Chains A and B, each alone.
Chain A
Amino acid sequence: MKIAFTTKGKTMDSEIDPRFGRTQYILVYDTEQESTDVIDNTDTASEGHGAGPKTAQRLMETDAEVLITGNGPGGNAASVLNRKGIKILVGAAGISAAQALEKFNNNELTHF
């Protein structure tokens, strides 16, 4: 299973970016391979509008089944993610992706 994190850096030690649409990176962790993939999302900083759908589109291309983030996506992005029934968990702001994964495994994150 692939789990996506919105992060401020490129490794599992990076802090979760609380924002969805304008997250700096999308970090995708493959639980079977125990490997990570990084998607650079820093270009959304210059988007006037529509950062949410753009980031959601990138996330869809990763085939992740779970998204772990901070505040949760906005309406437009959520409508993209809902089409695919991706599971969204929020409340992971301020901790690292590795810590967020542990919380996820312990069922300690909030469903969006």
Chain B
Amino acid sequence: MFKIAIASGKGGTGKTTLSVNLAAMLSDSESVRLCDMDVEEPDSGLFLNVDQKEKTVIQRFTPQWDEDKCTLCGKCQENCNFNAVIRLADQIMIFPELCHSCYACSELCPKNALPMIPSPMGVISSSRHEQLRFTEARLNVGVEQAVPLITQTHQYLNNLNEKAKFVIIDSPPGTSCPMIHTIKEADFVILVTEPTPFGLHDLQLAVETVRQLGIPMGVVINRGDDNNTLITDFCTANSIDVMAIIKNDRSVAAHYAAGDLVYKHVSTFRESVETIAGRIQNLLQ
């Protein structure tokens, strides 16, 4: 199982477009699973005709105060790094939305007065689109933290009986915790960007993040043209491989908006994705 995370600094550069089209195209010749880990806004599935879904409800564990056992010693509050457990004069207050489910308060409570209680956090569903296997992790509305679900989605992928050769992961945007926890288990990261000052700025942040994690990476420039060297200059100066430049083409946007797999309709787009697919296959050889 070779995990490829498709990420970006900036949002809206084409992570999902590339993820879905690359996975679908590659699945013609290889065993591929597409996994949408943009749990706050998973939308890869919109482009796929998926059959029956197999759903798993994912729980998170937060402490619950057992008033009868508690002696109000306050160790729970001292051990919580996130101010999720507060001791008042006559009670313990818990803020589940601040809790990171680290178990410190619960495990270190001398009276076992803070048992960890499950509550639904999100759903992981798996399905098939022709040859392509598809997994989507979706956070429940109102749940504030994406990372616990992302961590469990990686575990879910690792525990699957039927493992694909390539797992293509549609990652959350940005360079904060959700993105980091999504890409840190990847074997390779593709950063999608666009040739604009914003695109460059956020690409720089993303490159720095991936380098700190020590994961090999390549860059794909979306909506590019041959005359704009903003991104290519940066990549050359920093010895980063530009895997492909997807040409700016209105018909790509039109097919995307219609919910189509773009590579089936736009030949220049298909050529770019074929180049990326070839590069990925070479990575394994």
Contact = CB atoms under 8 A, between A and B. Distances in A.
B93 interface: yes
A80 interface: yes
B89 interface: yes
Contacts of B98: 49-50, 53, 76
Interface in A60-100: 60-61, 76, 79-80, 83-84
Interface residues of B, number: 13
A57 interface: yes
B88 A53 contact: no
A60 B87 CA distance: 10
Q: How large is the interface on A (under 10, 10 to 19, 20 to 34, 35 or more residues)?
A: 10 to 19
Q: Which applies to chain A's interface (DSSP): helix, strand, loop or mixed?
A: helix
B93 A54 contact: no
A52 B126 CA distance: 40
A39 interface: no
Given A76-B98, A83-B93, A54 B86 contact: yes
Interface string B70-91: 0000000100001110111101
Interface string B118-139: 0000000000000000000000
Interface of B: 77, 82-84, 86-89, 91, 93, 95, 97-98
Given A57-B87, A57-B88, A76-B97, 11 more contacts: A48-B82, A49-B98, A50-B98, A53-B98, A54-B83, A57-B77, A60-B89, A76-B98, A83-B88, A83-B93, A84-B88
